[in-house]
C-alpha cells in the first residue's frame, strides 16, 4: 500500500517506505533501518496518543511482544511508548495473513491445516508460558510465511489488546475488546476476568475458518456473531473428522472445560499426517463415519440405578490402618502422592481435551459434536499388553505404565522407558537400562505431560530422564539420586532428597522441556509430598509440621506470595481444586475419615462436610465442578458429594465392586471393575450407561488376589485406555 499525504516519512530513525495495514489502535508501516534491515513499524493513531488508557495498553503490547518474541512471533526491534505518537518496530516477516490466504485460495488442505494447528498451538503455549494472554487471535493476526520454512510457517502478530496475567490494566467499562466471531463467550460477559482459555477458544474458531472459510459462529454482523458465540452451538460441518474432538473441546462455552494450549498441541501432534482414503493427504474431510450405524443398532443395556441412601456403616478398619505414609492397604497405597499428581494431571487433561461444548444450561453439546468426539482414529483396533511377558524373572516386577494421548509409556526393571503405540499396542521404541542387571530401586510410573515423558534415568543413577513423547529423543537428564517428581502448575517439581526420618527436604523446580533449574528451596512439612497445583502458575505447599499453614507460591520463581492458617487437627490435605483445599479428617489414627474440610485459599474460610459413613479415601479424591467423587477403598464403593450443599448425591451399588479411582471425561464417569472391564456412569446420577467386555481373563483368581488399579481409565476421542494388574489395554468407548 502506498503512503498517504499525512503518513510520516520517518519514525524513530526508521525510514518509512509503505503501508502494510491499519488496525484498531494504529497503522503498520514497512520501514528500513539505517543498515537497510526491513522492519514493521506500528504507530498509534493520533486520536489515541493523548488517551492514557490506550497509551497504557500500547505499553502492554510492547512488553507482551518482548516477553514472547522468538520462533512464533515477530521479535521486537525497537519501541518508544512515550513518544508523541507511540510506536513499536518489529522484525518484518514476509508473508500473508491466514485471512488473505483463505480469501484468495480457499480453505487449506489437510497437511497445511494440520501444520497450521500444530504451530499455532505451539505458539500459544509459548505465549501462555510467558504469562501473556493474546485475547485477539483471529485469521488476520496469523501470518503465514512465504515458502513455509523448516523453522515454521506461522507467526502470531498484533498483541494490541493482550495483557500479562499479572497486569492491572483492565478493559474500560462498557468496552468489549476483541474480534467477533473469534472471541470466547467470557469476553462478552466478563471481559475483566479472561485468561489463556480465550486464546484456546480462538484457536478452535481459527481452525474451523482455515478448514471451511468461515467462522463456527458466522453471522451477518458482529452483534449476531456475539450472540451465536454465547448462546449457540458451533457449526462444524465441513471440518475434517480427526479435528472435531479437539475443536469441540476448544469451543466449549465454559473456559475450565477447554484444553490448555499445551494439551491442544499434544492432541494436534497425534493427528494422522494423511486423511483416511487420501493418498496425498489433501482435500476436504469426506463423509462423517458413524461406527455405531455401520455395526447396526446395539441393544441398550438397562440402567442400574444406584441407591441415593448411603449404605450402612461398615465394620471399622483393621488396627494397622493409618494415614497415608503410615498405613498399608492391600489396594496398593500411594507410596508417594507424586503418582496421584500424575493421575490428576492426566485426568484433567482428558476431561478438557475430550469434552464437547456445553450449552448455557449445561445439557451438553450437539449430537454431532458428541458423536464426533467418540470416533475412533483410523487404524485403531482393540489391544492388550501383558506386562508379565516383560517382567524380570528374579524380581517378579512387570512394567509400570502411564497412558497418554501420544501413547502408553512404561518403565520396567530392565527398560527405562518404552512407548506402546496407542493404535496397536505394539512397542514402538525402548530406552534400555545401562548394563544387564535390573533396577535395584523402587520402580515408579512415567510422568507424561505436554508431549514430554519423565522416567527414571537409564544410567541407574536414580535421576530423571526427559524424553519427547513422540520420538523418544532424550531432551535432558538430571543426575540422581533424587526423590519423587511430578508435573505441577507448569514446572517439573523434584524432591532432591531421598525420603528419610527428617521432615525437612530440599525441592527444586525445572523447566519441563529444557531441564533448566528455575529455583530450589528447603522446607519442612509433615507430608511426604507437600506440593499441590493451583491455578495459573500457582503452587500450594503444605507446611504443617514446619512453619505451619498453607503457603501460596509462584511456580516459576518459588517465591512465597502468602501463607494461610490451616484447619486444626489430624487432617490430610487430600487435594486442591479451583484454589480450594480439601482435607480428610482421620478418626483416631485409623485411616478412615468421618468428615471433609474445605478451605477457600483466597480468604481462608473453612467449612465442614460430613461423610454419610466412615470412608477410606486412600488416594486423592476427584473434584469435577461442584461434585467430589471419593473412592472408598475399604468398601470398593464410589461416593459422589455435592460440595455446594454438603450432601451425598449418590453412591455406587454395594453389589458393584469399583476397582479404581474415577475419571470424568465429557458427560461420563469411568471406573475399572475387578474383571478388567470399564464401567461408564452418569456423573450426575450414578446410573450405569454401559460397560466394556473384560480385557483379560481373571477366571480362577479370587477377588482378594487382585489389586485395584492406581490409575483411572483415560479416554482419548472414542478410545479408552486402562492400566490393571493383569496388564494394559485399549478398548472402544461404551456406546
Q: Is the dihedral of CA 158, 164, 168, 173 positive or negative?
A: positive
- What's the average model confidence in pLDDT over 523-539? 89
In this predicted structure, the answer to whether residue 312 has a pLDDT above a threshold of 60 is: no
Residue 24 is predicted with a pLDDT of 62
Which of these, 614, 572, 500, 568, lies nearest to 323 by C-alpha position?
Answer: 572
Angstrom distance (rounded) from CA 263 to CA 279: 29
Angstrom distance (rounded) from CA 297 to CA 477: 52
Confidence of residue 167 (pLDDT cuts 50, 70, 90): very low
| Higher per-residue confidence, 118 vs 73 | 118
Total-model pTM: 0.54
Which tens digits make up the pLDDT trace of 17-27?
A: 998 877 667 78
Residue 389 is predicted with a pLDDT of 59
Q: Where are the domains of the chain?
A: 1-92
Fold classified for 1-92: Phosphorylase Kinase; domain 1 (3.30.200)
Lowest mean pLDDT among 62-71, 111-120, 253-262, 475-484: 62-71
- What's the average model confidence in pLDDT over 682-702? 88
| For the chain, percent of residues with pLDDT exceeding 90 | 34
**Cα 594 from chain centre:** 32
In this predicted structure, the answer to whether residue 589 has a pLDDT above a threshold of 70 is: no
Confidence of residue 304 (pLDDT cuts 50, 70, 90): very low
Instruction: Measure the N-to-C terminal CA separation of the chain; round to a whole number of Å.
Output: 56
Angstrom distance (rounded) from CA 597 to CA 567: 8
Which of these, 41, 51, 45, lies nearest to 6 by C-alpha position?
Answer: 45
* Angular region, 332: left φ>0, alpha ψ -120 to 50, beta rest: left
- What's the average model confidence in pLDDT over 712-728? 90
In this predicted structure, the answer to whether residue 203 has a pLDDT above a threshold of 60 is: yes
Amino acid at each position: 500500500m502506498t503512503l498517504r499525504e499525512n503518513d510520516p516519512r520517518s519514525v524513530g530513525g526508521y525510514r518509512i517506505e509503505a503501508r502494510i495495514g491499519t488496525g484498531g489502535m494504529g497503522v503498520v508501516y514497512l520501514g528500513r533501518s539505517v543498515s537497510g534491515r526491513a522492519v514493521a513499524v506500528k504507530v498509534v493513531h493520533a486520536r489515541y496518543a493523548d488517551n492514557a488508557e490506550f497509551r497504557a495498553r500500547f505499553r502492554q503490547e510492547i512488553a507482551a511482544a518482548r516477553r514472547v518474541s522468538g520462533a512464533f512471533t515477530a521479535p521486537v526491534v525497537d519501541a518508544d511508548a512515550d513518544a508523541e505518537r507511540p510506536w513499536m518496530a518489529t522484525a518484518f516477516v514476509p508473508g500473508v495473513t491466514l485471512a488473505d490466504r483463505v480469501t484468495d485460495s480457499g480453505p487449506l488442505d489437510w497437511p497445511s491445516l494440520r501444520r497450521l494447528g500444530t504451530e499455532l498451538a505451539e505458539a500459544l503455549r509459548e505465549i501462555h508460558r510467558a504469562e501473556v494472554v493474546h485475547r485477539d487471535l483471529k485469521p488476520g493476526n496469523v501470518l503465514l510465511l512465504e515458502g513455509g520454512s523448516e523453522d515454521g510457517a506461522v507467526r502470531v502478530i498484533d498483541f494490541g489488546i493482550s495483557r500479562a496475567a499479572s497486569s492491572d490494566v483492565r478493559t474500560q467499562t462498557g468496552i468489549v475488546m476483541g474480534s467477533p466471531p473469534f472471541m470466547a463467550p467470557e469476553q462478552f460477559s466478563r471481559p475483566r476476568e479472561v485468561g489463556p482459555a480465550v486464546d484456546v477458544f480462538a484457536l478452535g474458531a481459527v481452525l474451523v475458518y482455515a478448514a471451511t472459510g468461515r467462522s463456527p459462529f458466522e453471522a451477518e454482523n458482529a452483534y449476531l456473531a456475539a450472540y451465536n458465540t454465547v448462546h449457540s452451538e458451533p457449526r462444524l460441518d465441513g471440518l475434517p473428522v480427526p479435528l472435531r474432538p479437539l475443536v469441540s473441546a476448544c469451543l466449549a462455552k465454559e473456559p475450565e472445560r477447554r484444553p490448555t494450549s499445551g494439551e491442544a498441541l499434544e492432541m494436534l501432534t497425534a493427528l494422522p499426517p494423511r486423511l483416511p482414503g487420501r493418498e496425498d493427504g489433501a482435500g476436504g474431510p469426506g463423509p462423517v463415519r458413524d461406527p455405531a450405524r455401520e455395526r447396526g443398532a446395539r441393544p441398550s443395556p438397562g440402567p442400574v440405578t444406584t441407591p441415593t441412601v448411603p449404605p450402612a456403616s461398615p465394620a471399622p478398619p483393621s488396627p494397622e490402618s493409618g494415614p497415608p505414609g503410615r498405613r498399608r492397604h492391600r489396594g496398593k497405597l500411594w507410596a508417594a502422592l507424586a503418582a496421584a499428581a500424575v493421575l490428576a494431571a492426566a485426568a484433567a487433561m482428558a476431561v478438557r481435551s475430550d469434552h464437547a461444548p456445553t450449552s448455557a444450561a449445561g445439557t451438553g453439546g450437539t449430537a454431532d459434536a458428541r458423536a464426533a468426539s467418540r470416533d475412533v482414529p483410523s487404524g485403531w483396533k482393540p489391544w492388550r499388553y501383558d506386562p508379565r511377558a516383560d517382567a524380570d524373572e528374579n524380581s517378579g516386577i512387570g512394567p509400570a505404565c502411564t497412558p497418554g494421548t501420544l501413547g502408553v509409556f512404561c518403565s520396567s526393571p530392565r527398560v527405562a522407558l518404552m512407548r506402546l503405540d496407542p493404535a496397536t499396542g505394539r512397542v514402538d521404541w525402548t530406552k534400555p537400562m545401562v548394563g544387564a542387571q535390573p533396577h535395584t530401586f523402587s520402580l515408579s510410573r512415567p510422568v507424561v505431560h505436554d508431549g514430554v515423558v519423565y522416567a527414571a534415568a537409564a544410567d541407574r543413577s536414580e535421576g530423571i530422564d526427559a524424553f519427547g513423547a513422540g520420538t523418544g529423543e532424550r531432551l535432558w537428564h538430571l543426575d540422581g539420586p533424587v526423590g519423587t517428581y511430578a508435573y505441577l502448575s507448569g514446572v517439573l517439581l523434584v524432591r532432591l532428597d531421598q525420603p528419610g526420618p527428617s521432615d525437612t527436604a530440599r525441592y527444586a523446580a525445572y523447566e519441563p522441556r529444557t531441564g533448566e533449574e528455575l529455583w530450589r528451596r528447603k522446607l519442612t512439612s509433615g507430608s511426604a509430598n507437600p506440593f499441590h497445583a493451583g491455578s495459573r502458575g500457582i503452587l500450594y505447599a503444605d507446611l504443617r509440621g514446619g512453619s505451619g499453614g498453607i503457603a501460596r507460591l509462584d511456580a516459576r520463581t518459588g517465591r512465597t506470595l502468602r501463607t494461610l492458617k490451616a484447619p486444626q487437627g489430624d487432617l490430610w490435605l487430600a487435594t486442591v481444586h479451583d484454589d480450594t483445599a480439601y482435607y480428610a479428617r482421620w478418626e483416631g489414627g485409623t485411616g478412615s475419615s468421618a468428615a471433609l474440610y474445605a478451605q477457600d485459599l483466597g480468604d481462608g474460610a473453612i467449612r465442614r462436610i460430613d461423610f454419610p459413613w466412615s470412608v477410606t479415601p486412600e488416594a486423592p479424591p476427584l473434584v469435577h465442578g461442584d461434585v467430589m467423587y471419593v473412592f472408598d477403598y475399604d468398601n470398593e464403593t464410589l461416593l459422589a458429594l455435592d460440595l455446594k450443599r454438603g450432601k451425598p448425591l449418590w453412591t455406587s451399588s454395594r453389589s458393584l465392586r469399583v476397582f479404581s479411582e474415577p475419571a470424568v471425561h465429557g458427560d461420563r464417569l469411568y471406573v475399572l471393575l475387578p474383571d478388567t472391564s470399564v464401567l461408564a456412569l452418569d456423573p450426575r446420577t450414578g446410573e450405569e450407561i454401559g460397560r466394556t467386555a473384560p480385557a483379560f481373563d481373571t477366571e480362577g483368581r479370587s477377588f482378594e488376589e487382585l489389586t485395584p488399579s492406581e490409575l483411572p481409565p483415560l479416554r482419548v476421542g472414542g478410545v479408552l485406555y486402562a492400566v490393571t494388574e493383569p496388564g494394559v489395554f485399549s478398548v472402544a468407548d461404551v456406546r
